[in-house]
Structure 1
Amino acid sequence: MTRLTTRIAVGIVAAAACATMLTGCLGQPSGGADGKTSLVAVNNGEIQRVTGAQNAGSQIAMAICEPLTGIEDDGSIFMRGAASVESKDQTTWTVKVAKGHTFSDGTKIDAKTYVDTFDFVANGANAMPSNFAYEQIQGYDELNPAEGEPTVTELSGLKLVDDDTFTLTMKSPNNDVPYLLSMLSFCPMPESAFKDPVAYDKKPIGNGVYTLKSLDPQVEAVLTKDPGYKGWVPKGAADTLTFRVYTDTNTAYQDVVAGNADVLRSLPPGLIAQGRNALGKEGLTAIDRNTLQTYIAWPTYLDATYPVEVRQAFSMIVNRESISKDLFKGATLPATSLMPNSVSAYREGACGEYCTYDPDAAKALLAKAGFTGSIPLNYASSSTTDAATALAISNSAKEIGLDVEPKPVPAATLSDTINKYGLDGPSIQLWGSSFPRASEWIASIFVDANYRLKYDNPGAADQVKQALASGDEKQADALWQKAEDAVLADQVLQPLYQQVMYIAHTKCVTPHAAGGDMQIYRTEVTCSQ
């Protein structure tokens, strides 16, 4: 799970005009005389690196990487680089690698490829950006000591069985391992990459549907289908895929409207109303499963200042329906659960009365607590969405005589303050998931490095462990829901709204998602010139 407020802000102005491009300039993907199709996608921000998660090159990485597993539109798992991923105890997992798969340079991929890759990335001394994803594997702590260099070079929980098989042992039972292995962090690397991972990061040798043909970090990346690839290919995938760099979302949007680009992932809320008018139903698609959610976070070191009655009152003066309908014009949906609707454990209304707008009840709770002070509401000053949210909450609070003071803070400063446990009041936080599972939303609350809440609830934490260890989906969901109820009762996190992901696109393409997260390389070309 990722706290998105700490990400480097994506940039703002178009790097290339349609006149300089060979494709995508006539309102539809172009088709050559040979019948091959090409697609131009917006890439938000300079492509400083390609491999690993959480960077401006991530969408490119998805196109050139075949992970061990994949995620369907509905959130279910299917096998890709793996033939099977199985476990009897949810702790030790046996992975059988699919036969005959290679990197784009023809290098063979086998079980040893994955073992070598995992050992290299998990080793803190190599400073790989995806290192964080290996934390749950047995032996990670020894490879990432708090002080000094590691004295070992291999994960103790990783064993090569034979050419086609390896085992992965987790620190504790975890039924989400098949989902973990779908992440970019677990993409295989050829042996040549270990010699110079920095250079490899800029021009990786992939094993996926596409191969990286060329890259100009400030202009574009051009990808072509790999003719030697033997794995799963999305229906209608373009033969050539160009990621054009934009540093201004408004410019990117206007280019899609004009037909100068074909796909813009995640249209900002402020542009959705325009998009409905300019693109209509054929050019604006909403992903019906959500992976982004905004919360009010209350670190527990502020409990003495803001007791539970104050936190409950705060939540009840937030008019979630009005914020989504009137402020954001349907670009968000009111959140009444700590989980979005992309996970199977989701329940609408889980938050109950405390996520229901009720100013009279809020006023009574404040009187019960004897609270007469003001509440600073911290948010990243670069976020216009957070600014509008904070102002709406402040105005609503005034109606019952409560002073909620919007407090814009530079994103880097806010992140540093959160990490150092220095907040003077609640903060607005946007979170996104790596895969559609309840653990991304509930288990993460108990990892202090995420929200920095200093939150402890032994009963709920035990339910999380039981949920992760369960091999039964329904039983696991019931445990996740019990843990969610406990967290909601403590009011350390208050759901505000889910962000609806809208895709702006030309009429000849159909966007597709993986469990609620749009992946550009899965875009289906439905017609050509």
Structure 2
Amino acid sequence: MVRSARKTPVWIALILALGLVAAACGGDDDEPGSGQTSGPTSVEPGGDFSLQICEPEFLVPQNDNETCGGQVLQSLFTPLVQYDVETSEPANVVASDISTDDQTTWTITLNAGWTFHDGSPVNAQSFVDAWNWAANASNAAGNNYFFANIEGYDELNPTEGDADPEATLSGLEVVDDLTFTATLTAPFSQFALTVGYNAFYPLPPAFFEDPEGFNEQPIGNGPYMMDGVWEHDQFIKVTKFPDYAGTPGNADNIEFRIYSDPDVAYTDVQAGNLDIADVPDAQIEQGRTDFGDAFIETPSSVFQYIGFPLSDERFQSPELRQAFSLAIDREAVIEAVFFNTRTPARSLISPVVAGSREDACQYCAFDPELAAQKLEEAGGWEGPLKFWFNSDGGHETWVEAVSNMWRQNLGIQEIQFESSEFADYLGSLDAGDVDGPFRLGWVMDYPSPQNYLEPLHACEGSSNNTGYCNEEVDALIAEGNAAASIDEGIDSYLAAEDIILEDMPIIPTWFGLNQSVHSDRITNVQIDAFSFIRVADVQVVASE
């Protein structure tokens, strides 16, 4: 759809008056800070460095599903497959082979010689025991749902009564010390891609003896091992594992320093007290200048969206939802609020994933005339509108900007904000208490279009917060899952995406970018599409 000419929205003038608009971030890929660091070439083996994280939720990989804990776990564990830092393509690491004849029964063969930090072997039982523990409802693992497509999951997660804590997945079988099989409930061509996620990490026997103690000082099979216990709200220290079976890390020691305020972390890098930190949005412009080649900007899999509670009859009309999307000038918000640190979303699938399309969404272009027409077709809007978001994520400014666009372009004058801290906010969504548009984000678990569609939009999707359900969409996703290969499934996934975008249960808003800065003490700082620093690759610069 041709994008209509646009006038300067009223809300931009308001933000200008408040002094929130910075100069546009010009330049091209040849300018400093547009990619990974080149840095000095003189480096010494070993050395220490530090980086910013927030307080993790857990350090048991089957429990943790947020990025702060995930950053630490990447140093402590090595999975069956790892994703390439630039392409996100999976490559076998602990696994020597993952194969199937029918996309349903998968055989996983391990490389010999891998051990945990306590010397116990990494074998087939290490994976089967870990997956069984996570899949059993009695353990309340945060990543339990990742095992829902393995045979026997329903028996471990009864809808009534308690699960048998000793029960295991009937679909998992140890064949020999280095081989096990996983039988799925239906064909799933993406299975080999998913097992790089931390839910599928192995666990040593020591975990099952003391899960709570393990959470404070995990024993993994990765390039680094814990150096003391997790000092909550302060730091987590790791040191190089001398018997690591893979390519060893470069630095000898790493400190994951825990910050509650990202601005403080950024200032600490400026002062030489920290080596790596994220860049707050308000510092992007100056950060490019101040840090030069030590300012890193790379693509991210982060996807932000506005959802609709479809159980509310006021949001039943697709035309109404389309109108809300058409009324948003994404480029203007990104420039004025985010200092050009986002890219407009016109797809449900991140550009870092195979199959993503730049203009899949015909209702994601700014077109206030068509927005008004769609709203009229839907019967208009009467009464106040509540806009929901979490209060601890810095969302207030863009929420206000989008609300002003809805006021100006749709004539909805009474827009009320409902916000709470993230945990309470998710509780409101789960309880069905949200009665207006709501913001959420998504970071891929594994690089597949399926991961952006099925969890969020399938009728029984694990993260379906809108209540959207379209049997044709589910059938197309299942068709993609059953394809002979990942690539052969893409067309089915894209057909499902087309239907979702027409129905518009969510408004795609923007995709994220990673921005970090680092001190001159280190080089070879790389950020992957999951927004993780590849800490094992970081090199400490030789002291003069």
TM-score between the two structures when normalised by the length of structure 1: 0.88
The answer for the alignment partner of 1:134 in structure 2 is: 147
The answer for the alignment partner of 2:9 in structure 1 is: none
- Quick check: 1:502 aligned with 2:511? no
CA shift, 1:306, in A, is: 5.2
Task: Measure, in 1, the Cα distance between the counterparts of 2:436 and 2:141.
Answer: 35
CA shift, 1:520, in A, is: 4.1
Amino acid at match of 1:311: R
Cα deviation digits, residues 164-199 of structure 1 (max 9, x gap): 110011121112222221111122111122111111
- Quick check: 1:66 aligned with 2:66? no
For the 8 Å contact 2:524–2:537, the answer to whether it is kept is: yes
Task: Measure, in 2, the Cα distance between the counterparts of 1:128 and 1:305.
Answer: 34
Cα deviation digits, residues 104-154 of structure 1 (max 9, x gap): 222122212222222223222233343332222111111122233324521
CA shift, 1:523, in A, is: 4.1
- Quick check: 1:410 aligned with 2:420? yes
- Quick check: 1:109 aligned with 2:150? no
Amino acid at match of 1:40: S
Q: How does 1:453-468 map to 2 (within 5 A)?
A: 453-468=466-481
Cα deviation digits, residues 222-269 of structure 1 (max 9, x gap): 2111111112446xx3221111222221111111122211112x4332
Unaligned stretches of 5+ in structure 1? 1-27
Say if 1:304 and 1:44 are closer, same or farther in 2 by CA, change over 3 A: closer
- Quick check: 1:178 aligned with 2:178? no
Say if 1:141 and 1:304 are closer, same or farther in 2 by CA, change over 3 A: same
Q: How does 1:23-172 map to 2 (within 5 A)?
A: 35-45=45-55, 49=59, 51-52=61-62, 53-55=64-66, 56-73=68-85, 74-151=87-164, 153-172=167-186
Task: State the superposition RMSD in angstroms.
Answer: 2.3
- Quick check: 1:255 aligned with 2:264? no
Task: Measure, in 2, the Cα distance between the counterparts of 1:248 and 1:137.
Answer: 40
Amino acid at match of 2:364: C
For the 8 Å contact 1:393–1:404, the answer to whether it is kept is: no
In the alignment, which of 410, 420, 423 is matched to residue 431 of structure 2? 420
Say if 1:238 and 1:404 are closer, same or farther in 2 by CA, change over 3 A: farther
For the 8 Å contact 1:293–1:431, the answer to whether it is kept is: yes
In the alignment, which of 435, 440, 443 is matched to residue 451 of structure 2? 440
Amino acid at match of 2:83: I
The answer for the alignment partner of 2:490 in structure 1 is: 477
Task: Measure, in 1, the Cα distance between the counterparts of 2:447 and 2:365.
Answer: 26
For the 8 Å contact 2:305–2:508, the answer to whether it is kept is: yes
Q: Secondary structure at the match of 1:57?
A: helix
For the 8 Å contact 2:327–2:368, the answer to whether it is kept is: yes
Amino acid at match of 2:185: K
Q: Secondary structure at the match of 2:320?
A: helix
CA shift, 1:57, in A, is: 3.0
Say if 1:145 and 1:225 are closer, same or farther in 2 by CA, change over 3 A: same
Cα deviation digits, residues 248-300 of structure 1 (max 9, x gap): 21111111122211112x433233223223222x1211122x21111111122
The answer for the alignment partner of 1:375 in structure 2 is: 385
Say if 1:440 and 1:126 are closer, same or farther in 2 by CA, change over 3 A: same
Task: Measure, in 2, the Cα distance between the counterparts of 1:46 and 1:377.
Answer: 29
For the 8 Å contact 1:511–1:522, the answer to whether it is kept is: no
Say if 1:243 and 1:526 are closer, same or farther in 2 by CA, change over 3 A: closer
Cα deviation digits, residues 435-478 of structure 1 (max 9, x gap): 22111111111134413322221111111001111123433111
The answer for the alignment partner of 2:242 in structure 1 is: 227
CA shift, 1:303, in A, is: 4.2
The answer for the alignment partner of 2:320 in structure 1 is: 310
Task: Measure, in 2, the Cα distance between the counterparts of 1:114 and 1:383.
Answer: 35
Say if 1:43 and 1:432 are closer, same or farther in 2 by CA, change over 3 A: same
Say if 1:65 and 1:323 are closer, same or farther in 2 by CA, change over 3 A: same
CA shift, 1:48, in A, is: 6.0
Q: Secondary structure at the match of 2:463?
A: helix
Task: Measure, in 2, the Cα distance between the counterparts of 1:518 and 1:305.
Answer: 37
Greater shift, 46-55 or 470-479, is seen at 46-55
The answer for the alignment partner of 2:30 in structure 1 is: none
Greater shift, 360-369 or 123-132, is seen at 123-132
Task: Measure, in 2, the Cα distance between the counterparts of 1:220 and 1:291.
Answer: 27
The answer for the alignment partner of 2:212 in structure 1 is: 198
Task: Measure, in 1, the Cα distance between the counterparts of 2:148 and 2:537.
Answer: 32
Task: Measure, in 2, the Cα distance between the counterparts of 1:513 and 1:170.
Answer: 33
Q: How does 1:204-243 map to 2 (within 5 A)?
A: 204-215=218-229, 216-233=231-248, 237-243=250-256
Greater shift, 186-195 or 87-96, is seen at 186-195
Greater shift, 238-247 or 48-57, is seen at 48-57
Say if 1:305 and 1:437 are closer, same or farther in 2 by CA, change over 3 A: closer
Unaligned stretches of 5+ in structure 2? 1-38
- Quick check: 1:278 aligned with 2:278? no
The answer for the alignment partner of 2:6 in structure 1 is: none
Q: Secondary structure at the match of 1:383?
A: coil
The answer for the alignment partner of 1:9 in structure 2 is: none
Q: How does 1:252-401 map to 2 (within 5 A)?
A: 252-264=265-277, 266-280=278-292, 282-288=293-299, 290-305=300-315, 307-352=317-362, 354-373=363-382, 374-384=384-394, 386-400=395-409, 401=411
Say if 1:404 and 1:293 are closer, same or farther in 2 by CA, change over 3 A: farther
Amino acid at match of 2:291: L
Q: Secondary structure at the match of 2:228?
A: strand
Task: Measure, in 1, the Cα distance between the counterparts of 2:81 and 2:351.
Answer: 22
Amino acid at match of 2:215: D
Greater shift, 340-349 or 472-481, is seen at 472-481
Task: Measure, in 2, the Cα distance between the counterparts of 1:232 and 1:182.
Answer: 17
Task: Measure, in 1, the Cα distance between the counterparts of 2:240 and 2:275.
Answer: 18
Say if 1:452 and 1:245 are closer, same or farther in 2 by CA, change over 3 A: closer
Q: Secondary structure at the match of 2:189?
A: coil
CA shift, 1:329, in A, is: 0.9
Say if 1:43 and 1:141 are closer, same or farther in 2 by CA, change over 3 A: same
Task: Measure, in 2, the Cα distance between the counterparts of 1:47 and 1:358.
Answer: 42
Task: Measure, in 1, the Cα distance between the counterparts of 2:122 and 2:427.
Answer: 41
Amino acid at match of 2:451: E
Identity value in percent: 27
Say if 1:312 and 1:128 are closer, same or farther in 2 by CA, change over 3 A: closer
Task: Measure, in 1, the Cα distance between the counterparts of 2:351 and 2:159.
Answer: 37
Say if 1:522 and 1:493 are closer, same or farther in 2 by CA, change over 3 A: farther
